[in-house]
Amino acid sequence: MPQKSKAQSWTALKQAGNDRFKTGQYGEATGLYSQAIKELEKSSKKSPEDLGILYSNRAASYLKDGNCAECVKDCNKSLEVYPFNVKSLLRRAAAYEALERYRLAYVDYKTALQIDCNIAAAHDGTNRMTKALTEADGLSWREKLPPIPTVPLSVRQKLTQQTAASQPKQPAPQQNGTKATNPTGPSDKDIKKAKTLKRKEGNAIEKYSQSLQHNPTESLHCLDSRALCYLSLKQYRDAVRDCDEALMIDSSNVKALYRRGQAHRELQVTCVDDLNTLLRVEPKNTAALKLLQEVQKKK
């Protein structure tokens, strides 16, 4: 029974800290999270994940108060006990960015994107860091980066499972006690083909991502190729991000201009500028001419 009381104590402190944080009382939130950490560390049944979340929460309070150095320390502790915690990675990246430690911020933003490629804050942060590092170090800025850790597949699978579990299940419609069929839905063959494509392109993306870390001289080829993989998987924002980086290296890169144009079209963003730039480089590029005609017809 005493153990149960302790568990209630740290969870109550955590909740109180969350309440203070929501109302902007960051100093009080920091104190409550500190008490919660002490209580949890006393527990014989402490969970590394719970401890990592508490450190991450306190890091968020430090970040809001402008204490970036303490935020980094708490994120480090969080990631030691709860590796690849996305919130800790993003908070540490933001603190590094505020401290103008742009290389370390870039690494954290990129690591977060390996876990979940749909994080808008990580995309925006990566773009800001790319711009800042290019201005500071020129086109060779990648060569000066610390190693970007490879996120294990098990971590990404766990996140996918958690996301799926959080989605409400829709009951299948029934007709006369039997499952209704949808004649316009995908066939088993289509589903199998889609899964094969996703697995194939996913493996290619991982290969190009690793190559980007270890072979900076091949960065342009890897970015172009990974953007194509993202297009195949309909991950258009990721394709745009890779094309942006490729075009920072070579502003007249035909593949990046065309693929960014394709992605922008799918995102319902104008792609005319990209295609016109491409056609100034290669006036007879038939694929670009065709895409430009299609876009202009819809106007």
> How many domains does the structure of the chain reveal?
2
| pLDDT score for 156 | 73
Asked, for residue 164, whether it belongs to a domain, the answer is no
Asked, for residue 190, whether it belongs to a domain, the answer is no
Domain shared by 14 and 127, yes or no: yes
**Amino acid, res. 122:** A
Asked, for residue 188, whether it belongs to a domain, the answer is no
Give the CATH number, domain containing residue 222. Answer: 1.25.40.10
Asked, for residue 13, whether it belongs to a domain, the answer is yes
Asked, for residue 210, whether it belongs to a domain, the answer is yes
Domain shared by 237 and 115, yes or no: no
Per the listing, tokens 């104590």 go with: 9
| pLDDT score for 165 | 54
Asked, for residue 156, whether it belongs to a domain, the answer is no
pLDDT 10s per residue in the chain (299 long)? 444 444 458 889 999 999 999 999 999 999 999 999 999 988 877 789 999 999 999 999 999 989 999 999 999 999 999 999 999 999 999 999 999 999 999 999 999 988 888 888 888 889 899 999 999 988 889 899 999 888 888 877 776 666 555 444 444 444 444 444 444 444 555 555 445 545 555 677 877 877 777 776 778 888 888 888 888 888 889 889 888 888 888 888 999 999 999 998 888 888 888 899 999 999 998 889 999 888 888 76
Asked, for residue 56, whether it belongs to a domain, the answer is yes
For Cα atoms 224, 229, 231, give the angle at the middle one, nearest 5 degrees. 95
Query: What range defines the domain where residue 110 resides?
Result: 2-133
Domain shared by 10 and 124, yes or no: yes
Burial, 168: exposed, middle or buried (Cβ in 10 Å; 0-12, 13-18, 19+)? exposed
Domain shared by 28 and 122, yes or no: yes
Domain shared by 127 and 6, yes or no: yes
Asked, for residue 258, whether it belongs to a domain, the answer is yes
Q: Choose the final residue of a domain: 109, 133, 157.
A: 133
Q: Choose the final residue of a domain: 94, 116, 133.
A: 133
| pLDDT score for 150 | 87
Domain shared by 129 and 9, yes or no: yes
Domain shared by 199 and 83, yes or no: no
| pLDDT score for 172 | 44
Q: Choose the final residue of a domain: 133, 156, 185.
A: 133
**CA pair distance 152, 157, nearest whole angstrom:** 9
